[in-house]
Amino acid sequence: MEKLNIIKNQHFNLDKVKDLYSIQTWDPKKIASFHDSIGNKETPLVRLPGLAKHLGIGNVLLKDESPRFGLNAFKALGASYAMHRQIKKFPQIKIFCTATDGNHGRAVAWVARKLNRKAVIYMPKWTVPARIKAIENEGAEVHVIDQSYDIAVEMANIRVEEGNKNGNNYWSLIQDTAWDGFEEIPLDIMKGYWTEMYEVTQQLKRETVDVLFLQSGVGSWAASILGYVATQWKNPPICISVEPYSANCLFESIKVGNRVIVQNNGTTIMAGLNCASVSTLAWDILKNGLSASMSIADELCEEAMRLLAYPIPDDPLIISGESGSSGLGGLIGLSRSTYYKELKEKFNLNKNSTVLVINTEGDTDPINYKKVINEKKY
């Protein structure tokens, strides 16, 4: 039985991505230099020859973001850059506010503490205690609401608007999803993520990537990475997005050619991807830059977690969380698929191809991580 759905993107036009002014002005060296100034250390790009052979693929490369800033996820790259830009613009800021499923909120709280500012974080009802505790340990004020992530975003936005209603600009909303009238900060967050691919580019040297799997929630990170390879790489790879079955807003949007809202019910373990709508900024890039969009069952990301935790001989051990492993889950599902054989051949997913996946988080839910990896050892 297939554990994925995948559709080819009929709107693909990479030239439109390259022509976006918002991306043309970004300077990856400048962004990476900023992160160096706050103590960034390059995260590893590892080879998985055992897994590649197991899946019938030439090379599998994995960028491991779990060591980033000691925060177990990549999110601080975007949050730190956006918050730095906001402080330069409004030095009077006292409170940073955001909504989060975990990793982004911890990043905002961590940066706020470094800047001697306060952080107020809104979290949806299904958030696991470990992620709440990690944010509270950074000194943030946390509000867990009895509703979804998208409602948490609305509540954070209202809180900031109320805090700034007298015009003092003491509050700043650091949200990675964009909507009409709120695009500057999400754009800066997307810019911050470019350091990740700047590092990958240096690590690859002259090696090329044929296929890139990108997990997507609101799409900001996926769009940022896609924007980098489209504008900075001479030979951009085929890019395929990966989402949970139950929160496949990008998949459904690609299907019809317009942003749509899905009714997500919180049943996926991929908490960082459990979003009902695509960011407006991300959509312009993803609509034109993705070759295909995929939604997967939780079982595929769980299998990916186990394959990394109990590596095939010659592969390193990698700790990957539920959202972090979903790109690899998509690769596993598609590489084994018989139903999508034609698409697999079209995307050159074979023994001659080099595939890049990105582990965006480590075991940010330690209890569930142990449960998943102990279900079956490879």
Spans of all domains in the chain: 4-74+190-373, 76-175
Q: Catalytic residue among 3, 63, 101, 176, which?
A: 101
Q: Are 269 and 300 in contact (CB under 8 A)?
A: no
How far apart are alpha carbons 293 and 226 in whole angstroms?
13
Report CA Rg, the chain.
19
pTM here?
0.95
Q: Is it true that 4-74+190-373 and 76-175 share their CATH fold?
A: yes
How far apart are alpha carbons 195 and 318 in whole angstroms?
21
Q: Which sign does the torsion angle of CA 228, 230, 236, 237 carry?
A: positive
Q: Catalytic residue among 3, 63, 64, 75, which?
A: 75
Q: Output DSSP code: residue 88.
A: H
Q: Output DSSP code: residue 344.
A: H
What's the CATH fold of domain 76-175?
A: Rossmann fold (3.40.50)
What's the CATH fold of domain 4-74+190-373?
A: Rossmann fold (3.40.50)
Listed in sequence order, the DSSP H helices in the chain are: 14-18, 21-24, 28-37, 49-55, 76-89, 103-114, 129-136, 149-163, 184-192, 194-204, 220-232, 249-256, 280-289, 298-309, 326-336, 341-346, 366-373
pLDDT of the chain along its 378 residues, tens only? 689 999 999 999 999 999 886 788 899 999 999 999 999 999 999 999 999 999 999 999 999 999 999 999 999 999 999 999 999 999 999 999 999 989 999 999 999 999 999 999 999 988 999 999 999 999 999 999 999 889 999 999 999 999 999 999 999 999 999 999 999 999 999 999 999 999 999 999 999 999 999 999 999 999 999 999 999 999 999 999 999 999 999 999 999 999 999 986 668 999 899 999 999 999 999 999 999 999 999 999 999 999 999 999 999 999 999 999 999 999 999 999 999 999 999 998 999 999 999 999 999 999 999 999 998 654
Instruction: Let me know if 75 is a catalytic residue.
Output: yes
SS3 state of residue 295: strand
Q: Are 228 and 17 in contact (CB under 8 A)?
A: no
Q: Output DSSP code: residue 42.
A: P
